Chain A
Amino acid sequence: MSNFEYAPAPESRAVVSIDPAYGLFINGKFLPGKSHFPTINPATGEKLSKITQSTTADVNKAVAAARGAYVKTWSKMPPAERAKYLYRIARILQERAREFAVLETLDNGKPIRESRDVDVPLVAAHFFYHAGWADKLQYAGFGEAPKAHGVVGAIIPWNFPLLMLAWKVAPALATGNTVVLKPAETTSLTALLFAQVCQQAELPAGVVNIVTGDGKVGAALVNHPGVDKIAFTGSTDVGKIIARSVAHSGKSVTLELGGKGANIVFEDAAIDEAVEGIVNGIFFNQGHVCCAGSRLLLQEGIHDEVLEKLKRRMSQLRLGDPMDKNTDIGAINSAEQLAKITSLAQVGVSEGGESWSPDCALPVNGFWFKPTIFTGVTQAHRIAREEIFGPVLSVLTFRTPQEAMEKANNTPFGLSAGIWSEKGSRVLWASKHLQAGVIWANTFNKFDPTSPFGGYKESGWGREGGRHGLGAYLKGGDHE
Chain B
Amino acid sequence: MSNRIDVRKTYKLFINGQFPRSESGRVYEIKSGKDFVANPSQASRKDMRDAVTAARAAQPGWANATAYNRGQILYRIAEMLEGRTSQFVEEISLLEKVTSIQAKAQVKQSIDQWVWYAGWADKIATAFGSTNPVAGPYYNFTIPEPMGVVGILAPEKPSLLGLVNCLAPVLVSGNTAVLVASQSAPLTAITFAEVLATSDLPAGVCNILTGIKDEIAPWMASHMDINAMDISGAAKKTQPALREAGADNLKRIFSFSDKAKTQRMTSFLEAKTIWHTIGI
Contact = CB atoms under 8 A, between A and B. Distances in A.
B270 interface: yes
Contacts of B130: 452, 466-468
B250 A240 contact: yes
A450 B270 contact: no
A201 interface: no
A479 B277 CA distance: 31
B263 interface: yes
B85 interface: no
Interface string B241-280: 1011011111010100000100100110111111111000
Given A461-B252, A479-B263, A480-B266, A446 B134 contact: yes
A141 B249 CA distance: 29
Interface in A426-480: 427, 431-432, 436-443, 446, 448, 450-454, 456-458, 460-461, 463, 466-468, 476, 479-480
Interface stretch (B3-11, B37-45, B135-143): B135-143
A125 interface: yes
B128 A480 contact: yes
A240 B244 CA distance: 9
Interface range for A: 35 or more
Q: Is the interface of B mostly helix, strand, loop or mixed?
A: mixed
B132 A439 contact: no
Contacts of B272: 431, 436-439, 456
Interface in A394-444: 412, 427, 431-432, 436-443
Interface residues of B, number: 38
Given A125-B135, A436-B272, A458 B140 contact: no
Interface string B60-78: 0000100000000000000
B273 A248 contact: no
B276 A427 contact: yes
B25 interface: no
B227 interface: yes
A348 interface: no
A141 B248 CA distance: 31
A438 B248 CA distance: 23
Contact of B275 (A248, A446, A461): A446
B133 interface: yes
Given A442-B277, A443-B277, A457-B227, A451 B134 contact: yes
A437 B133 CA distance: 18
B240 interface: yes
A466 B241 CA distance: 33
Q: Which of A412, A453, A460, A466 is the most central at the interface, judged by chain B CB atoms within 10 Å of its CB?
A: A466
Interface string A252-283: 00010100000000000000000000000000
Given A247-B243, A468-B142, A452 B250 contact: no
A439 B275 contact: yes
A174 to B, nearest CB: 17
Given A451-B132, A457-B227, A467-B130, A239 B250 contact: yes
B133 A450 contact: yes
A322 B246 CA distance: 42
Interface string A200-244: 000000000000000000000000000000000000100110011
A479 B254 contact: yes
Contacts of B254: 479
Interface in B124-167: 127-128, 130, 132-136, 138, 140, 142, 147
A271 B249 CA distance: 37
A388 B270 CA distance: 25
Question: Nearest 10 A-B pairs (CB), nearest first?
Answer: A247-B243, A243-B247, A448-B134, A247-B244, A480-B266, A479-B267, A450-B132, A479-B263, A441-B276, A248-B240
Interface of B: 64, 127-128, 130, 132-136, 138, 140, 142, 147, 227, 240-241, 243-244, 246-250, 252, 254, 260, 263, 266-267, 269-277
11 contacts: A247-B243, A248-B243, A431-B274, A432-B64, A439-B274, A443-B138, A446-B136, A448-B135, A452-B130, A463-B271, A479-B254
